[in-house]
Amino acid sequence: MARGTSRVCAAVTVAALTTACTAGQAAPPAPAPQRATPSPSGSAPAEPAGVKPRRGEVGRIPGPYPRVISSIPTRRKVVFLTIDDGWEQDPGFVRQVREQRIPITAFAMRDAVEAKGTPDPAGGVGRFVGAGKWDYFRELNAAGVAVENHTLTHPNLRLLGRDAQKAEICGASRLIARRIGVRPALFRPPFGTYTSDTLAAAKACGIRDVLLWTATVQPGGKIAYQVPDKRLRPGDILLLHFRPHLARDFRILVDKIKRRGYELGDLQAYLAATSQAASR
Ligand SMILES: [Zn+2]
Protein backbone atom coordinates (compact mmCIF):
# COMPACT_ATOMS: atom_id res chain seq x y z
CA MET A 1 0.00 0.00 0.00
CA ALA A 2 2.17 2.79 -1.35
CA ARG A 3 0.22 5.66 0.15
CA GLY A 4 0.68 4.42 3.69
CA THR A 5 4.32 3.60 3.25
CA SER A 6 5.21 6.95 1.73
CA ARG A 7 3.46 8.79 4.55
CA VAL A 8 5.45 6.83 7.08
CA CYS A 9 8.69 7.73 5.38
CA ALA A 10 7.75 11.38 4.91
CA ALA A 11 7.04 11.72 8.58
CA VAL A 12 10.29 10.00 9.48
CA THR A 13 12.19 12.51 7.38
CA VAL A 14 10.60 15.35 9.31
CA ALA A 15 11.34 13.81 12.65
CA ALA A 16 14.84 12.55 12.09
CA LEU A 17 16.80 10.47 9.61
CA THR A 18 15.63 8.48 6.66
CA THR A 19 17.45 5.30 7.59
CA ALA A 20 14.32 3.27 8.16
CA CYS A 21 12.58 4.14 4.91
CA THR A 22 14.27 1.42 2.96
CA ALA A 23 11.87 -1.42 2.50
CA GLY A 24 13.45 -4.79 2.84
CA GLN A 25 13.36 -8.20 4.34
CA ALA A 26 10.34 -10.27 5.19
CA ALA A 27 8.57 -9.69 8.46
CA PRO A 28 9.60 -11.84 11.42
CA PRO A 29 6.79 -13.63 13.24
CA ALA A 30 4.75 -11.18 15.25
CA PRO A 31 5.20 -11.44 19.01
CA ALA A 32 2.10 -11.29 21.17
CA PRO A 33 1.23 -7.64 21.73
CA GLN A 34 1.70 -6.34 25.25
CA ARG A 35 -1.38 -6.96 27.31
CA ALA A 36 -2.30 -6.04 30.83
CA THR A 37 -0.92 -8.09 33.70
CA PRO A 38 -3.22 -9.05 36.60
CA SER A 39 -4.02 -6.04 38.75
CA PRO A 40 -2.58 -5.79 42.29
CA SER A 41 -6.03 -6.64 43.68
CA GLY A 42 -6.00 -9.92 41.76
CA SER A 43 -8.99 -8.99 39.60
CA ALA A 44 -8.86 -9.70 35.91
CA PRO A 45 -7.02 -7.06 33.86
CA ALA A 46 -9.06 -4.88 31.56
CA GLU A 47 -9.13 -5.77 27.90
CA PRO A 48 -7.40 -3.12 25.78
CA ALA A 49 -9.79 -0.34 24.79
CA GLY A 50 -10.21 1.26 21.38
CA VAL A 51 -11.50 0.23 17.98
CA LYS A 52 -9.84 -2.76 16.31
CA PRO A 53 -8.85 -2.91 12.64
CA ARG A 54 -11.34 -4.36 10.22
CA ARG A 55 -10.31 -7.13 7.88
CA GLY A 56 -8.26 -5.71 5.00
CA GLU A 57 -8.40 -2.17 6.40
CA VAL A 58 -4.75 -1.63 7.26
CA GLY A 59 -1.86 -1.38 4.81
CA ARG A 60 1.35 -3.29 5.32
CA ILE A 61 4.42 -1.53 6.71
CA PRO A 62 7.48 -3.43 5.49
CA GLY A 63 10.60 -4.22 7.52
CA PRO A 64 13.45 -4.31 8.25
CA TYR A 65 12.66 -4.45 11.96
CA PRO A 66 12.50 -2.43 14.05
CA ARG A 67 10.34 -0.40 11.70
CA VAL A 68 10.13 3.35 12.29
CA ILE A 69 6.46 4.29 12.31
CA SER A 70 4.85 7.73 12.49
CA SER A 71 1.31 6.83 11.42
CA ILE A 72 -0.83 3.81 10.65
CA PRO A 73 -1.74 3.26 6.97
CA THR A 74 -5.54 3.27 7.02
CA ARG A 75 -8.35 5.29 5.43
CA ARG A 76 -10.62 4.84 8.42
CA LYS A 77 -11.08 7.90 10.61
CA VAL A 78 -9.13 6.54 13.55
CA VAL A 79 -6.27 8.10 15.54
CA PHE A 80 -4.04 6.81 18.31
CA LEU A 81 -3.11 8.40 21.64
CA THR A 82 0.35 8.02 23.17
CA ILE A 83 1.61 9.64 26.39
CA ASP A 84 5.28 10.11 27.25
CA ASP A 85 7.66 10.42 30.20
CA GLY A 86 5.66 10.02 33.44
CA TRP A 87 6.46 12.94 35.76
CA GLU A 88 2.94 13.92 36.76
CA GLN A 89 0.98 11.00 38.18
CA ASP A 90 -2.55 12.23 38.82
CA PRO A 91 -4.68 9.33 40.13
CA GLY A 92 -7.72 11.00 38.52
CA PHE A 93 -6.24 10.29 35.12
CA VAL A 94 -6.01 6.53 35.77
CA ARG A 95 -9.68 6.53 36.82
CA GLN A 96 -10.58 8.46 33.66
CA VAL A 97 -8.77 5.95 31.43
CA ARG A 98 -10.29 2.97 33.25
CA GLU A 99 -13.87 4.24 33.51
CA GLN A 100 -14.11 5.74 30.04
CA ARG A 101 -12.17 2.90 28.37
CA ILE A 102 -9.83 5.29 26.58
CA PRO A 103 -7.12 3.54 24.56
CA ILE A 104 -3.66 4.94 25.25
CA THR A 105 -0.08 3.70 25.01
CA ALA A 106 2.33 5.00 27.67
CA PHE A 107 6.04 5.50 26.92
CA ALA A 108 7.61 5.46 30.38
CA MET A 109 10.99 7.11 31.09
CA ARG A 110 12.69 5.94 34.31
CA ASP A 111 13.87 9.30 35.67
CA ALA A 112 10.39 10.78 35.16
CA VAL A 113 8.52 7.84 36.71
CA GLU A 114 10.89 7.82 39.68
CA ALA A 115 10.93 11.66 39.82
CA LYS A 116 14.72 11.90 39.65
CA GLY A 117 15.23 15.51 38.62
CA THR A 118 12.92 18.26 37.51
CA PRO A 119 10.11 17.98 34.96
CA ASP A 120 9.77 20.37 32.06
CA PRO A 121 7.86 23.34 33.53
CA ALA A 122 6.06 23.98 30.22
CA GLY A 123 2.92 22.17 31.38
CA GLY A 124 2.56 24.14 34.64
CA VAL A 125 3.29 23.35 38.29
CA GLY A 126 2.87 19.66 39.11
CA ARG A 127 0.81 18.43 42.07
CA PHE A 128 1.50 14.74 41.64
CA VAL A 129 5.14 14.62 40.50
CA GLY A 130 6.34 11.05 41.05
CA ALA A 131 3.37 10.43 43.35
CA GLY A 132 2.84 6.76 42.51
CA LYS A 133 6.22 5.88 40.98
CA TRP A 134 5.93 2.49 39.16
CA ASP A 135 2.68 1.65 40.97
CA TYR A 136 1.08 4.35 38.85
CA PHE A 137 2.13 2.56 35.67
CA ARG A 138 1.09 -0.80 37.10
CA GLU A 139 -2.38 0.66 37.65
CA LEU A 140 -2.44 2.01 34.09
CA ASN A 141 -1.36 -1.38 32.79
CA ALA A 142 -4.11 -3.08 34.80
CA ALA A 143 -6.54 -0.64 33.13
CA GLY A 144 -5.48 -1.99 29.71
CA VAL A 145 -2.61 0.40 28.91
CA ALA A 146 0.58 -0.94 27.29
CA VAL A 147 3.67 0.44 29.06
CA GLU A 148 6.47 0.89 26.55
CA ASN A 149 10.09 2.11 26.47
CA HIS A 150 11.24 5.77 26.44
CA THR A 151 14.83 5.30 27.85
CA LEU A 152 16.22 5.66 31.36
CA THR A 153 17.36 9.31 31.31
CA HIS A 154 15.85 10.91 28.17
CA PRO A 155 19.10 11.66 26.30
CA ASN A 156 19.45 12.93 22.76
CA LEU A 157 20.46 9.58 21.27
CA ARG A 158 22.24 11.19 18.34
CA LEU A 159 24.91 12.29 20.80
CA LEU A 160 25.53 8.76 22.12
CA GLY A 161 27.46 5.79 20.71
CA ARG A 162 25.85 2.42 20.14
CA ASP A 163 26.84 0.95 23.53
CA ALA A 164 25.51 3.95 25.45
CA GLN A 165 22.27 3.84 23.44
CA LYS A 166 21.96 0.14 24.14
CA ALA A 167 22.42 0.76 27.87
CA GLU A 168 19.57 3.31 27.78
CA ILE A 169 17.17 1.15 25.77
CA CYS A 170 17.95 -2.32 27.19
CA GLY A 171 18.12 -0.86 30.72
CA ALA A 172 14.64 0.62 30.37
CA SER A 173 13.21 -2.59 28.89
CA ARG A 174 14.65 -4.66 31.75
CA LEU A 175 13.32 -2.21 34.33
CA ILE A 176 9.81 -2.15 32.82
CA ALA A 177 9.78 -5.96 32.60
CA ARG A 178 10.71 -6.10 36.30
CA ARG A 179 8.31 -3.39 37.45
CA ILE A 180 5.30 -4.03 35.19
CA GLY A 181 5.77 -7.68 34.31
CA VAL A 182 5.73 -7.23 30.52
CA ARG A 183 8.73 -6.51 28.31
CA PRO A 184 8.28 -3.53 25.96
CA ALA A 185 7.81 -4.18 22.25
CA LEU A 186 7.84 -0.48 21.31
CA PHE A 187 10.43 2.26 21.74
CA ARG A 188 10.03 6.00 21.42
CA PRO A 189 13.30 7.92 21.12
CA PRO A 190 13.39 11.14 23.16
CA PHE A 191 12.82 14.21 20.93
CA GLY A 192 12.13 11.83 18.02
CA THR A 193 15.83 11.78 17.15
CA TYR A 194 17.73 8.61 16.39
CA THR A 195 20.55 7.12 14.31
CA SER A 196 21.18 3.78 12.65
CA ASP A 197 22.90 2.79 15.92
CA THR A 198 19.59 3.42 17.72
CA LEU A 199 17.79 0.97 15.48
CA ALA A 200 20.52 -1.65 15.95
CA ALA A 201 20.47 -1.11 19.72
CA ALA A 202 16.68 -1.26 19.86
CA LYS A 203 16.71 -4.51 17.91
CA ALA A 204 19.30 -6.00 20.29
CA CYS A 205 17.03 -5.00 23.19
CA GLY A 206 14.05 -6.86 21.74
CA ILE A 207 12.21 -3.82 20.42
CA ARG A 208 9.88 -4.55 17.52
CA ASP A 209 8.92 -1.06 16.35
CA VAL A 210 10.18 2.49 16.92
CA LEU A 211 7.20 4.79 17.33
CA LEU A 212 7.27 8.44 16.31
CA TRP A 213 4.21 10.66 15.94
CA THR A 214 2.39 13.00 13.57
CA ALA A 215 1.11 15.66 16.00
CA THR A 216 1.69 16.77 19.58
CA VAL A 217 -0.96 17.88 22.05
CA GLN A 218 -0.18 21.03 24.02
CA PRO A 219 -1.53 22.11 27.43
CA GLY A 220 -5.18 23.02 26.96
CA GLY A 221 -5.74 20.16 24.50
CA LYS A 222 -4.51 22.15 21.49
CA ILE A 223 -3.15 19.97 18.68
CA ALA A 224 0.17 21.05 17.10
CA TYR A 225 0.42 19.36 13.70
CA GLN A 226 3.56 18.41 11.82
CA VAL A 227 1.72 18.70 8.51
CA PRO A 228 1.02 22.02 6.76
CA ASP A 229 -2.76 21.65 6.38
CA LYS A 230 -3.28 21.34 10.15
CA ARG A 231 -5.89 18.63 10.03
CA LEU A 232 -6.22 15.26 11.64
CA ARG A 233 -5.65 12.44 9.18
CA PRO A 234 -6.65 8.79 9.37
CA GLY A 235 -3.96 6.83 11.21
CA ASP A 236 -2.40 9.81 12.99
CA ILE A 237 -0.43 9.09 16.15
CA LEU A 238 -0.79 11.88 18.70
CA LEU A 239 1.79 12.57 21.40
CA LEU A 240 0.89 13.89 24.86
CA HIS A 241 2.89 14.10 28.09
CA PHE A 242 2.08 13.17 31.69
CA ARG A 243 1.73 16.84 32.60
CA PRO A 244 -0.32 18.79 35.12
CA HIS A 245 -3.96 19.14 34.03
CA LEU A 246 -3.67 16.05 31.82
CA ALA A 247 -7.15 14.82 32.83
CA ARG A 248 -8.72 18.14 31.82
CA ASP A 249 -6.67 18.47 28.62
CA PHE A 250 -7.55 14.90 27.77
CA ARG A 251 -11.29 15.55 28.03
CA ILE A 252 -10.95 18.53 25.68
CA LEU A 253 -8.84 16.51 23.25
CA VAL A 254 -11.09 13.44 23.18
CA ASP A 255 -14.17 15.66 22.62
CA LYS A 256 -12.37 17.44 19.79
CA ILE A 257 -11.34 14.17 18.12
CA LYS A 258 -14.89 12.78 18.33
CA ARG A 259 -16.46 16.02 17.04
CA ARG A 260 -14.30 15.67 13.95
CA GLY A 261 -15.73 12.22 13.39
CA TYR A 262 -12.68 10.24 14.47
CA GLU A 263 -12.52 7.17 16.69
CA LEU A 264 -9.71 6.17 19.05
CA GLY A 265 -7.89 3.00 18.04
CA ASP A 266 -6.11 0.14 19.80
CA LEU A 267 -2.54 0.88 18.65
CA GLN A 268 -1.20 -2.61 19.39
CA ALA A 269 -3.96 -4.27 17.39
CA TYR A 270 -3.35 -1.91 14.46
CA LEU A 271 0.42 -2.43 14.58
CA ALA A 272 -0.11 -6.17 14.48
CA ALA A 273 -2.31 -5.67 11.40
CA THR A 274 0.46 -3.70 9.60
CA SER A 275 2.63 -6.81 9.79
CA GLN A 276 -0.05 -9.23 8.76
CA ALA A 277 -1.62 -7.24 5.93
CA ALA A 278 -0.94 -8.64 2.50
CA SER A 279 1.05 -6.36 0.19
CA ARG A 280 -1.38 -4.64 -2.14
ZN1 LIG B 1 9.97 12.35 26.39
Residue 89 Cα, ligand 1 centroid: separation in angstroms? 15
Rounded distance between C-alpha atoms, residue 208 and residue 272, angstroms:
11
Residue 4 Cα, ligand 1 centroid: separation in angstroms? 26
What is the pLDDT at residue 227? 78
Residue 43 Cα, ligand 1 centroid: separation in angstroms? 31
Residue 123 Cα, ligand 1 centroid: separation in angstroms? 13
Residue 149 Cα, ligand 1 centroid: separation in angstroms? 10
Residue 248 Cα, ligand 1 centroid: separation in angstroms? 20
Residue 235 Cα, ligand 1 centroid: separation in angstroms? 21
Residue 25 Cα, ligand 1 centroid: separation in angstroms? 30
Residues 6+ apart with CB under 8 A from 253: 81, 217, 221, 223, 238, 240
Tens-binned pLDDT, residue by residue, of the chain (280 aa): 333 333 443 333 333 333 333 333 344 444 455 655 554 445 556 778 999 999 999 999 999 999 999 999 999 999 999 999 999 999 999 999 999 999 999 999 999 999 998 887 777 888 999 999 999 999 999 999 999 999 999 999 999 999 999 999 999 999 999 999 999 999 999 999 999 999 999 999 999 999 999 999 998 999 998 778 889 999 999 999 999 999 999 999 999 999 999 999 999 999 999 998 654 4
What is the pLDDT at residue 276? 85
Q: What is the tens place of the pLDDT at every residue in 1-37?
A: 333 333 443 333 333 333 333 333 344 444 455 655 5
Rounded distance between C-alpha atoms, residue 249 and residue 82, angstroms:
14
What is the pLDDT at residue 278? 55
Residue 54 Cα, ligand 1 centroid: separation in angstroms? 32
What is the pLDDT at residue 117? 85
Residue 33 Cα, ligand 1 centroid: separation in angstroms? 22
Residue 241 Cα, ligand 1 centroid: separation in angstroms? 7
Residue 55 Cα, ligand 1 centroid: separation in angstroms? 34
Residue 8 Cα, ligand 1 centroid: separation in angstroms? 21
Rounded distance between C-alpha atoms, residue 104 and residue 267, angstroms:
8
Residue 256 Cα, ligand 1 centroid: separation in angstroms? 24
Which residue, among 226, 233, 189, 193, has the nearest Cα to 209 in the 3D structure?
189
SS3 261: coil
Is the entire prediction scored with pTM above 0.75?
yes
What is the pLDDT at residue 277? 62
What is the pLDDT at residue 104? 97
